């Protein structure tokens, strides 16, 4: 009888040990997957995209902020020669003066071929970045660009006749052959109702630098876009260091709406993470329609 009891206890302990080992393996595996995802998301950040275009490696010791001695007016001098483009002549964002926009009927519409994606959100210390599953792309002026990620700025980085919206989302695209970028900007305006697109993530937004949220739940980027996709377009740069001048901008005219509580939620996490508008210099802002 005692022998049978001891046998039973031994087998139970063995099973528990095996289960425990399997759980540990799963935990390690999950951590490895999450670390890989985080690295992939970091590679889709603006600084890394600019560096990839020029064949440069990122300097991890360079750091920027949106105020103080590491703020926008000092960006060009914060990283040796790496961020000198921040003092260039084709910088973004800009204030779009609608009375000076040049009408160009030859500009093509924004044609999208987006699909669903799972949720991958990274707080990189400057914005909330949502990586998009590969396979989605947009045709912008007869050139295909893959959608890599989108992220937010509070308030808007571009302004219209001096007016700054409470938030702007940037859809970052990359051409596979050239490495050049195309960014579609969409303004958010305060409304009475919650934005249903934002509601999918509003309670899952990572609040601190380095935190991320990953889920197999799917969503579609088209749900954040307005019905009318008329836009302003111009040649510019990334709006964070190294401010690489490799971007064609498509700033959508029609804003979308979000509730005051939603906008405040994003602002509480990201603070005021917009770069001041830059000089247009000799560039031209064009639009298909007035």
- The helix, strand and coil proportions of the chain, stated in percent and rounded to the nearest 5, come to 30, 30, 40
In a domain, 85, yes or no: yes
In a domain, 2, yes or no: no
In a domain, 20, yes or no: no
Give the number of other Cβ atoms within 10 Å of residue 248's Cβ.
Answer: 19
Do the bridges between strand 181-191 and strand 256-259 make them parallel or antiparallel, or are there none, so unpaired? parallel
Main-chain phi, psi angles of 232, to 5 degrees: -100, 145
- Residue 55's alpha-carbon distances to 50, 134, 179, 227, in angstroms, are 9, 22, 10, 38
In a domain, 137, yes or no: yes
In a domain, 39, yes or no: no
Give the number of other Cβ atoms within 10 Å of residue 70's Cβ.
Answer: 14
In a domain, 16, yes or no: no
Per DSSP (E only), the strands in the chain are 95-96, 102-103, 111-113, 116-123, 128-131, 137-140, 143-153, 159-160, 167-174, 181-191, 212-220, 231-236, 247-252, 256-259, 286-287
Q: What pLDDT, on the 0 to 100 scale, is given for residue 9? A: 42
Coil, strand, or helix at residue 20? helix
Residues of the chain with pLDDT under 50: 1-33, 35
How many residues appear in the chain?
A: 290
* Tally of domains within the chain: 1
In a domain, 232, yes or no: yes
Q: What pLDDT, on the 0 to 100 scale, is given for residue 53? A: 78
Enter the tokens of residue 146.
């893959």
Give the number of other Cβ atoms within 10 Å of residue 98's Cβ.
Answer: 12
Coil, strand, or helix at residue 283? coil
DSSP string of 83-103, one letter each residue: TGGGGSSS-S-BEE-GGGPEE
User: Which CATH number goes with the domain that contains 70?
Assistant: 3.10.200.10
Give the number of other Cβ atoms within 10 Å of residue 132's Cβ.
Answer: 23
Q: What pLDDT, on the 0 to 100 scale, is given for residue 45? A: 82
In a domain, 29, yes or no: no
Q: For the segment 150-187, what is each residue's pLDDT rounded down to a tens digit?
A: 999 999 999 999 999 999 999 999 999 999 999 999 99
Q: What residues make up the domain containing 172?
A: 44-287
């Amino acid at each position: 009888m005692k022998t049978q009891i001891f046998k039973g206890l031994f087998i139970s302990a063995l099973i528990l040990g095996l289960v425990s080992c399997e759980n540990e393996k799963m935990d390690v595996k999950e951590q490895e997957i999450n670390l890989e995802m985080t690295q992939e998301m970091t590679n889709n950040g603006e600084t890394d995209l600019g560096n990839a275009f020029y064949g440069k490696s990122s300097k991890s010791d360079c750091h920027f902020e949106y105020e103080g001695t590491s703020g926008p007016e000092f960006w060009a001098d914060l990283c040796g020669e790496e961020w000198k483009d921040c003092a260039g002549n084709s910088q973004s964002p800009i204030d779009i003066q609608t009375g000076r926009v040049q009408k160009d009927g030859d500009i093509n519409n924004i044609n999208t071929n987006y699909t669903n994606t799972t949720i991958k959100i990274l707080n990189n210390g400057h914005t909330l970045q949502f990586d998009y599953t590969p396979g989605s792309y947009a045709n912008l002026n007869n050139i295909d660009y893959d959608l890599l990620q989108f992220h937010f700025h509070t308030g808007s980085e571009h302004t219209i006749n001096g007016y700054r919206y409470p938030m702007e989302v940037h859809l970052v695209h990359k051409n596979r052959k050239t490495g050049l970028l195309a960014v579609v900007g969409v303004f958010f305006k305060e409304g009475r109702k919650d934005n249903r697109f934002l509601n999918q993530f509003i309670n899952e937004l990572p609040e601190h630098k380095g935190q991320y949220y990953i889920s197999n739940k799917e969503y579609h980027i088209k749900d954040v876009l307005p019905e009318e996709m008329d836009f302003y377009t111009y040649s510019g740069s990334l709006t964070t260091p190294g401010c690489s001048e490799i971007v064609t901008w498509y700033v959508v005219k029609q804003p979308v709406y979000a509730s005051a509580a939603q906008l405040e939620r994003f602002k509480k996490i990201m603070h005021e993470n917009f770069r001041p508008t830059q000089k247009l210099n000799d560039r031209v802002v064009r639009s298909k329609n007035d």
